[in-house]
């Protein structure tokens, strides 16, 4: 299956289990891999046979900057659901949501959750 990648999309959201996370907000980063057949797009040079990257970014932004949830797992799941709802050519996707500054002690670059979903 062919793939489209969008890496390190940056957003600011108000998600988390702790009141400070929901009050102050924090950065989130998203990597996305979308699987679909791109042969017809490549042969015809017509956008209708691919997925508009700008529309994908907007979809992800609406989820990450939208209604607050407790878990990064929920953000990943909601992102996949919205992508399948908005892009009928999409066959599968991998969504990785990074939380660079979670309120846990220690030294690390980020924590992240990655899911892979296939259209049912």
Q: Is 7 helix (H, G, I), strand (E, B) or coil?
A: strand
Residue 93 CB neighbour total at 10 angstroms = 24
Indicate the number of domains in the chain: 1
Q: What's the CATH code of the domain at 103? A: 3.30.1130.10
What is the per-residue pLDDT for 34? Answer: 98
Q: Is 61 a catalytic residue?
A: no
What is the per-residue pLDDT for 56? Answer: 98
Which of the residues 43, 78, 99, 109 is marked catalytic?
99
What is the per-residue pLDDT for 79? Answer: 98
pLDDT one-digit tens code per residue, 29-85: 999 999 999 999 999 999 999 999 999 999 999 999 999 999 999 999 999 999 999
CB of 21 within 8 A of CB of 51? no
What is the per-residue pLDDT for 103? Answer: 85
What is the per-residue pLDDT for 49? Answer: 98
Domain extent for 14: 2-118
Strand order in the sheet with 92-99: 2-13, 26-36, 92-99, 111-118
């Amino acid at each position: 299956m062919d793939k489209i990648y969008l890496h390190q999309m940056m957003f600011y959201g108000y998600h988390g289990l702790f009141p400070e996370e929901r009050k102050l907000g924090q950065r989130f980063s998203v990597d996305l891999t979308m699987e679909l057949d791109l042969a017809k797009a490549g042969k015809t040079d017509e956008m209708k046979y691919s997925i508009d990257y700008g529309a994908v970014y907007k979809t992800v932004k609406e989820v990450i900057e939208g209604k607050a949830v407790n878990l990064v797992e929920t953000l990943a799941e909601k992102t996949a659901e919205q992508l399948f709802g908005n892009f009928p050519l999409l066959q599968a996707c991998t969504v990785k949501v990074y939380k660079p500054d979670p309120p846990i002690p220690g030294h690390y670059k980020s924590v992240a959750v990655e899911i892979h979903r296939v259209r049912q």
